[in-house]
Amino acid sequence: MVARTVPVPPFDLVVFGATGDLARRKLIPALYRRLRAGQMPTDARIVGAARSALDDEGFRAQAAEALEEFVPAAEREQNTVDAFLATLSYVAVDAMSDSGWSELRAVLEARTGGDRVRAFYLSVAPRFFAPIAARIAGSGIGGSEGRVVIEKPLGHDLASARELNDELSKHFPECRVYRIDHYLGKETVQNLMALRFANALFEPVWNAQHVDHVQITVAESVGVAGRGGYYDQNGAMRDMVQNHLLQLLCLIAMEPPSQFGPDDVRDEKLKVLRALSMPDIRSEVVRGQYRAANGTASYVDDAGNPDSTTECFVAMKTGIANWRWAGVPFYLRTGKRLRARISEIAVVFKAVPHWIFSGQGGGDAHQNVLAIRVQPDEGITLGMTIKEPGPGGMRLLDADLDMTFAERLGPSISIPDAYERLVMDVIRGDQTLFMRGDEVEAAWAWIDPIIAAWEERGARPSLYDPGSSGPEDALMLMHRDGRRWREIAS
Ligand code: NAD
């Protein structure tokens, strides 16, 4: 079968907040790379919109700087950079007043032509999402097909998430709202779906009969310095678990959809979220904060709040109440200033039912582990038990079948950044890798009672050493069940 890329139609992409951090670090480099890959239609146009008083040239100069900073020199041929910059223009627009909207409309209307896709990327603070959506609709530039793109935080709790969904739905039907969770744009995460649904091997063992447990780790080595004030309002549960970790869990646990269509996939993810069991707050959830050590600041120092009880680490045990997963623990763990930056899902299978090698130097029964590494070094490994070569009995050892993509597929395969895939999916009108409003609400409906119970108890987070694997209680969470976390190692 010949694989083919779905073509991208001509488009106008308006980036609100085009002078901000997300636009500079991610969106502009992602769009440049798509043009360089030949995927950008020649008449594609990108309109920067933000409050700063810039003209087209000023914005292009900023974009050129962003490319220099965030795209390696080897990927920056001058003619490609020039071609990209020529697609850019800029309009100064204020989200909260009428200023700039008629100019933006004029820029967009100057480029009519058949069925151009129009998309609005709201790369701005969440408080602007609803006002900008209203003005896009009110000024008529959204048309009947315009799409709007937003990213976390999508609410602070269930009530605020509902309010945001309600506000957006006044102006954009659900089929035109693209809620990004950039983890879903990562190659390995999509590969997880290929692995499960394009291979006959795993589905028969993908259930409580064969899976011992699942571990999902999203560890960061950096602290919150620089954005501590913002972070302290949220914490790891809201900032990471509500979106990235639960999305990964959904892809591992969902039933096979009948087809790979947006609502088919999202319906199945929603069922997982609704079947999540509530952990015991006292014994199955651990919250942590890093302490000061060797001249590095503590979490509370970084947050600028000595009394902070916000968690920058959380580890928990949950489960999924359905036939496939009944009794299988799902352990989730995420935190700042841990030993390494790594995101990984590990499906740990049960050991064989009867072990015949103990008298042969084979030690205890081993467990197969399917590890899906989301970052860095995207890839998949399958831990197998094999015989150590040589005479002298059945000495067994663990060895990985390793599909680190960069090694397996060769250096010519470059793994695109998640935003490259996601922005092009918006233009193509493919919502499969975007969260639907009811998914976001279902995730908050599970998170809210956990946070409420913490607040009621008023317990302080456990402290952990920077560069460690988190608080001792998190290790105990697994040890008590006779299991252990996989190492956080790069
Ligand atoms: P930022 O503060 O760096 O940039 C904000 C942008 O909004 C600027 O271009 C600014 O000019 C514009 N802006 C501010 N007030 C405006 C107004 N009244 N009218 C029009 N434009 C206005 O923010 P950021 O870090 O780029 O984040 C943007 C959004 O993306 C936020 O919702 C953030 O939570 C989310 N996000 C950011 C990152 C990241 O890596 N930076 C990652 C995930 C999600």
- What are the DSSP E strand ranges found in 72-203? 88-92, 117-122, 147-151, 177-180
d(CA 268, CA 276): 13
Q: Is 125 in the pocket of ligand 1 (CB under 6 A)?
A: yes
Does residue 131 line the site of ligand 1, with CB under 6 A? no
172 with 122: CB under 8 angstroms?
Answer: no
The CA-atom distances, in angstroms, between 220 and each of 7, 304, 337 are: 36, 20, 6
DSSP 348: E
Q: Probe ligand 1: pick from 14, 16, 22, max atoms within 8 Å of CB? A: 22
CB 399 within 8 A of CB 417: no
**C-beta 124 within 6 A of ligand 1:** yes
CA 198 to ligand 1 centroid distance, Å: 38
45-50 and 11-16 strand pairing: parallel
The whole model's pTM is what?
A: 0.95
Q: In 140-153, which positions are buried (b, 16+ CB within 10 angstroms) versus exposed (e)?
A: ebbeeebbbbbbbb
Decide: 20 in ligand 1 pocket, CB within 6 A.
Answer: yes
* Cis ω before 153 (30° cut-off from 0): yes
Distance CA 166, CA 151 (A): 16
Task: Report in angstroms the alpha-carbon separations of 420 from 184, 295, 416, 471.
Answer: 12, 39, 6, 36
Instruction: Write down the CATH superfamily of domain 184-412+438-479.
Output: Dihydrodipicolinate Reductase; domain 2 (3.30.360.10)
Full DSSP string of 62-94: HHHHHHHHHS-GGG--HHHHHHHHTTEEEEE--
Q: Write down the domain spans for the chain.
A: 11-151, 184-412+438-479
Eight-state DSSP code of residue 192: H
Residues that are catalytic:
244
With a CB cutoff of 8 Å and minimum separation 6, the contacts of 51 are 92, 93, 94, 95
Q: Which of 47, 91, 123 to mutate to test the pocket of ligand 1 (most atoms within 8 A of CB)?
A: 123
Each residue's pLDDT, cut to its tens digit, for the chain (490 residues) gives: 455 677 889 999 999 999 999 999 999 999 999 999 999 998 899 999 999 999 999 999 999 999 999 999 999 999 999 999 999 999 999 999 999 999 999 999 987 666 799 999 999 999 999 999 999 999 999 988 999 999 999 999 999 999 999 999 999 999 999 999 999 999 888 989 999 999 999 999 999 999 999 999 999 999 998 889 899 999 999 999 999 999 999 999 999 999 999 999 999 999 999 999 999 999 999 999 999 998 899 999 999 999 999 999 999 999 999 999 999 999 999 999 999 999 999 999 999 999 888 877 667 788 999 999 998 888 899 999 988 888 877 888 889 998 776 666 766 667 788 999 999 999 999 999 999 999 999 999 999 999 999 999 888 999 999 999 999 999 999 999 999 999 998 7
CATH class of residue range 11-151:
alpha beta
